[in-house]
Structure 1
C-alpha cells in the first residue's frame, strides 16, 4: 500500500499548470477556459470545427501560452495525436475539462424519430468521446501526480428529462463512468462531474430563450443559468474540492427538487 497523503491540502494552485478543455471554443468550454486562465493556467483549447473561435479565444485569454488544439471526440487516433501535441507544446497536462458534446431535440415519446445514426452520434460524442480523451491524456495526467478531470454532465442524467432519450442516457453513462474511473485513477487523478440544467448557450438546436425562462421559473432560485455559472463550478471543483472524486455536482438552481 502506498503512503497515505495528508489532508488539509489547501486550494489547488493553477499557476504553472496546463488545462485542456474540449469544446473549448464556445459555450461552457470557453467560459471554463476563461476562468481557469484567470487563475493562472495555460489553456489548450480543444475544438472540432471552431478553429477560428478557438484562435480568437486563445488571443484574448489572460496570461500567455494558450493555443488551440484540434480535438474532435469521434476519432480516437486524432485524440491521441492531440495528446501528443499537448505534450510537445506544453510538456504537461494537469486539468482536463470534458465540455464538448452534442444533442438533438427529439420528443421522448417519438421512438421512430430517434434513428440509429442520431442515437449513435449522441452516445459516441457525449460518452465514448470523454472516455477516449481521458484514455489518451492519461499518461500526462498521471505524470502530473495531482490532476483533475471535470466532466460536464447534465441534470438530464438524473431526471431522464432532456433534449432526447439518447442524451439522457449518454450523460447518465458519463456520471457512472466517472465513479468507475475515480476508483481506479486515484490518488493521482480526481474525477468530478458538473451537471447543469438548461444553460443559456444555444447548445440545444431550436430551443428558445422562452423555453429556458419557463424552465428557470420552475426552479427554487428562478435563475437562468449562464455558461459562466457552470464555469465557476468547474473552477471550484478544480481548486477547492480537493477531496471530492467520483461525484457529480448539480448546478441547476434547485431544478431537481
Structure 2
C-alpha cells in the first residue's frame, strides 16, 4: 500500500460509531419558542444538551421555554431567519457564550391556509414569503452556523420539512413547493458539509399545533383517521424523531424521514 493510500485510509472513519452523546454539546433550535421547536428543545435538553432557543418575536414565550428545560446552561437568542445580519450577531453571541455549536434544528417557518385552486390569492409577495421563510431562512441559518458546526467535527443539522413537500398537498401551493425545495436543500448541504456534519430532514404531516391558522383539531383528527396508524401526531412525536435522528442515525445524511402515521401510503 502506498503512503498516499495509507493516509486516505486513515482519514476514512469506521462504522460502529455508537450513540451520539448530547452531554456537553450545544444545540440551537430556531422557532424554539413554540410547537415542534419547543418540544425539540425539551427533548434535546433531556438528553443533556445545552439549548439555545431561537425566536423571532415573543421573548417572554422563549424565556418561558428556557425556564422549563431540564438541566442548566440554556438561553434564548433572537434569530429572525429572514435577517442574515441579525443571524450573524446571534452566532457571535452564541460563540462567545458557549464556544461551540454541535446541533442545529431548523424548525422556524410559516404558512397560510389558501385553497390550491385559488391561484389569484397566491400573489407574488405571498409566494415569495413562503420561499423566504421556509427555504431561504433555513439555508441562511445553516450557512451562518456552518463554521461552528464544521469545527465541532461531528455536527448535525435537522431541517423540519413536511409531507407536503412530496405529496404537494398542504396549506397552500407555495408552502408545498417550499418544502420540496427544503428537502432538496437537505441533500445539497449534506453533500457539501460532509464529513464533519450530518444533515437530515424530518417530514411530519398535520401536527396538533396552531401552525396553520384556522385549521381545527377536528380537521387534524379527520386526517389522522384516514392514516394506517390512525394517530394524531403531536409536537413531541416529531421532537422524538428529531432527537433520534441526532443521537442514533450516525451513518445517515441527506435523507428526510417521514413522520406521519403512514399518511403517505
TM range (shorter): over 0.9
Structure 1 counterpart of 2:214 = 206
Structure 1 counterpart of 2:136 = 128
Structure 1 counterpart of 2:157 = 149
Query: Aligned equivalents of 2:131 and 2:191: distance in 1?
Result: 23
Q: Does 1:39 align with 2:47?
A: yes
Structure 2 counterpart of 1:107 = 115
Unaligned segments of structure 2, at least 5 residues:
1-7
Pick the aligned partner of 1:195 from 203, 214, 221: 203
Q: Following TM superposition, by how much is the alpha carbon of 1:50 offset from its aligned partner in structure 2, in angstroms?
A: 2.1
Q: Does 1:50 align with 2:53?
A: no
Specify the SS of the correspondent of 2:89. Answer: helix
Specify the SS of the correspondent of 2:77. Answer: strand
Count of aligned positions:
257
CA RMSD between the two structures? 0.8
Q: Following TM superposition, by how much is the alpha carbon of 1:14 offset from its aligned partner in structure 2, in angstroms?
A: 0.2
Query: Aligned equivalents of 1:93 and 1:58: distance in 2?
Result: 17
Moved over 3 A (4+): none
Pick the aligned partner of 2:77 from 41, 50, 69: 69
Q: Does 1:175 align with 2:188?
A: no
Q: Does 1:26 align with 2:34?
A: yes
Q: Following TM superposition, by how much is the alpha carbon of 1:30 offset from its aligned partner in structure 2, in angstroms?
A: 0.2
Q: Following TM superposition, by how much is the alpha carbon of 1:122 offset from its aligned partner in structure 2, in angstroms?
A: 1.2
Specify the SS of the correspondent of 1:190. Answer: strand
Q: Does 1:159 align with 2:167?
A: yes
Query: Aligned equivalents of 1:111 and 1:42: distance in 2?
Result: 44
Pick the aligned partner of 1:85 from 83, 93, 104: 93
Larger radius of gyration: 2
Query: Aligned equivalents of 1:51 and 1:66: distance in 2?
Result: 14
Query: Aligned equivalents of 1:215 and 1:241: distance in 2?
Result: 29
Specify the SS of the correspondent of 1:69. Answer: strand
